[in-house]
Amino acid sequence: MKRFVKSSEVPAYESPTSEHRRFKLFIERDISGTKAVSCGEFILPPKAAQPKAKAFPETEKIFYVLSGRGILAIDGMDHEIEQGMALYVAPGEAHAFANTGSDELRLLW
């Protein structure tokens, strides 16, 4: 069980889709033995967007915008997001991110 994880020691996984989004997984059941939470970083390149919204029926999501700016679409409604904002997505809400800036959009979940 790992209680402490350095971002610099975690590999980034790239999605095999055209928008080249990347993920870093810091805390989750296989790494830290958690039962109900996970934590990681989501990185979306400039001008990229997730291809479709995704819903997690039993999972609440909290995101914090580390850098960049973009759009968070929740159940078809667009919300502008930027560095320093905390975001909440309720269980079952379909959501997707789009990067509207010229820098990477980096989110901690």
pTM more than 0.75: yes
Residue 15, pLDDT score: 87
Give the per-residue pLDDT at 70.
98
Torsion of CA 64, 70, 73, 78, to 10 degrees: 120
What confidence score (pLDDT) does residue 19 get? 83
85-99: burial string, b at 16+ Cβ within 10 Å, e else: eebebeeebebebbb
C-alpha dist (Å) from residue 4 to 29, 33, 50, 86: 14, 12, 30, 23
Q: What is the pLDDT of residues 10-34, one digit of tens each?
A: 899 998 888 889 999 999 888 888 8
- What whole-number distance in Å separates Cα of residue 40 and Cα of residue 28? 9
Question: Which positions of the chain have pLDDT values less than 70?
Answer: none
